[in-house]
Structure 1
Amino acid sequence: MSSGRKADPARELGVGASLLYKLYDDIQQGESIQNATSLAGERLKAAQAALTSVGDLMDQMSPEILKVDALKGNGYTIIASNAREMLGSMTDLLNTYWDGQNLFGGTDSAQPPLAEASDLLDWAEARKDLAVASGPLSAAGAASLITTFDTMFANVQRAADGSSFYGLVYQSTSRTDLGGSTDPESDEPSRIRIGAGETLTYNVRADNPAFRDAFKALSLLSLLDAPSSEMTEEARTALLDEAGDLMRGVRTQLTVLAGVLGSKQERLSNVAEIQERAIAAATAQINDLEGVDYYTVSDRIGTLQIQLQATYSITAKLAELSFVNYL
Structure 2
Amino acid sequence: MKIGFPDALRFNSLSGPLADIRRDLTQASVELVTGRKQNLGRVLGVEAGDYNIVAKALADADTSIDRLTLSNNRLSATQIPLHQIRTALTDYAVETDSLLVTDEFVNTTISADAKSQIRQIFTSLNSSYAGRNLFSGDSVESAATSTADEFFTAIEASLAGATDAATLDTAIDTFFAPGGDFDTLIYQGGAGFASAVRLPTGGTVSFQLKADDQSFRTALEGLVRVAYAPQEGQVDFAREGVTLVRNAEALLIQHEAELGRQQNLIDNSIDAVNQERLILAETENTFAGADPYEAAALVQNLELQLQTAYTVTARISRLTLTNFVR
TM bracket (short chain): 0.7 to 0.9
Aligned to 2:241: 243
1:132-143 counterparts in 2 under 5 A? Answer: 132=163, 137=164, 142-143=165-166
1:249 and 1:318 map into 2 onto residues whose CA distance is 95
Aligned to 1:148: 171
User: Unaligned regions of 5+ residues in structure 2, if any?
Assistant: 1-27, 319-325
Moved more, 238-247 or 251-260: 238-247
The offset of 1:7, in angstroms, is: 4.1
The offset of 1:120, in angstroms, is: 2.9
1:1-327 counterparts in 2 under 5 A? Answer: 1-2=28-29, 3-4=31-32, 5-11=36-42, 13-69=44-100, 73-132=104-163, 137=164, 142-156=165-179, 163-172=180-189, 174-175=190-191, 187-192=192-197, 194-195=199-200, 199-224=204-229, 231-233=231-233, 236-292=234-290
The offset of 1:261, in angstroms, is: 0.6
1:127 and 1:55 map into 2 onto residues whose CA distance is 27
Contact 2:110 2:226 in 1 (8 A): yes
Equivalent pairs: percent with the same residue?
A: 22
Contact 2:159 2:172 in 1 (8 A): no
The two structures, once aligned, show a CA RMSD in angstroms of: 3.6
Moved more, 123-132 or 27-36: 123-132
Contact 1:10 1:17 in 2 (8 A): yes
After superposition, the C-alpha distances for 1:212-246 in whole angstroms (9 at most, x for unaligned) are 1111111111112x5xxxx313xx24422431332
TM-score normalised by the chain length of structure 1: 0.74
Answer 1 or 2: which has greater helix percent.
Answer: 2
Contact 1:95 1:114 in 2 (8 A): yes
1:55 and 1:35 map into 2 onto residues whose CA distance is 30
Using CA pairs under 8 Å that are at least 6 residues apart, name the structure with larger relative contact order, 1 or 2. 2
The offset of 1:208, in angstroms, is: 0.9
Contact 2:158 2:175 in 1 (8 A): no
Code of the aligned partner of 1:216? E
After superposition, the C-alpha distances for 1:261-281 in whole angstroms (9 at most, x for unaligned) are 111222222333333333332
- Runs of 4+ in structure 1 off by over 6 angstroms are 293-319
Code of the aligned partner of 1:117? A
Contact 1:97 1:103 in 2 (8 A): yes
Q: Which entry has the higher C-alpha Rg, 1 or 2?
A: 2
1:143 and 1:122 map into 2 onto residues whose CA distance is 21
Contact 2:201 2:272 in 1 (8 A): no
Find the residue that maps to 1:131 and give its secondary structure: coil
Moved more, 213-222 or 163-172: 163-172
Code of the aligned partner of 2:106? G
Distance 1:250-1:300 versus aligned 2 partners, 3 A rule: closer
Contact 2:97 2:239 in 1 (8 A): no
Aligned to 1:181: none
Moved more, 89-98 or 8-17: 8-17
User: Unaligned regions of 5+ residues in structure 1, if any?
Assistant: 157-162, 176-186, 320-326
